[in-house]
Amino acid sequence: MFKRRTPRSYGQIASDMIYPRGGWRRAGTYIVHRLSRLPDQPQRIALGLAVGVLASFTPFYGVHFLLAAALAWMIRGNIFAALIGTFAGNPVTLPFIAIMSVSLGRYLMGMEAGLPPQEIFVEFARASAEIWQNVAAIFGPAEVGWDRMGDFMGDIFLPYLIGGTFLGLIAGFISYYLALPVIRAYHRRRAKKMARRIAKAHAAAPIPPLTKTTTTQDPRGHA
């Protein structure tokens, strides 16, 4: 019923992820509109958005949704707003997030300068492949080996986690304090519209006619 008449190809889906139809401004306006219309308290919505942004700065690729939902549940934020917040980490912003997070994390850990984004993502792909190979080795003849995992965890993953958490907290706080007044203003405007509609409906409603009250005569002559 709600499917597209002409399904999008994989190329169109990938293109829309990098540059949405209508531009980023329209996409941002749509996200703000969706956040404002969520049926929840403004503070809970803003909290959910903030932890979603925080989750997008972590190196847990593939589970940002789950992490954001768990964090929102823990702090009693809006879970759907948290899922929307994870879109802060998208194909355009992720390279910059990775560079800044790894560079900051390595600096805080007293390590050498950061790494280029292509090397970061290549190492993530290799680590993921090693995990799957070792899982398959449990059920097959191949040997289990974690040769690359130790270097990956120490050189990339842990610095990414430390730096990304630090930057994600900053981005989350900024998102919270920017979104909260916007959501509150939208809720006040919606409440005023609803009050005007109710008042207009009451004014247009027909006034029921007055009914005359009849008194019964008491047999002793009293009303």
pLDDT tens column, 128-169: 888 777 777 777 776 666 677 888 888 899 999 999 999 999
Of the listed ranges 27-31, 89-93, 175-179, 190-194, the least confidently predicted one is: 27-31
Answer for the pair 223, 217: CB distance below 8 angstroms, yes or no. yes
Helix, strand, or coil (residue 37) = coil
Q: Supply 62's token pair.
A: 């593939």
Statement: residue 41 has pLDDT above 80: yes
When pLDDT is cut at 50, 70 and 90, the band that residue 18 belongs to is very low
Q: Supply 131's token pair.
A: 């995990």
- Judge if pTM exceeds 0.75: no
Answer for the pair 14, 144: CB distance below 8 angstroms, yes or no. no
Distances (CA, A) of 158 to 47, 149, 161: 26, 12, 5
φ/ψ of 164, rounded to 5, equals -65, -40
Of the listed ranges 109-113, 121-125, 139-143, the least confidently predicted one is: 139-143
When pLDDT is cut at 50, 70 and 90, the band that residue 20 belongs to is low
Residue 8: predicted pLDDT: 52
When pLDDT is cut at 50, 70 and 90, the band that residue 30 belongs to is low
Residue 213: predicted pLDDT: 57
When pLDDT is cut at 50, 70 and 90, the band that residue 222 belongs to is low
Residue 50: predicted pLDDT: 96
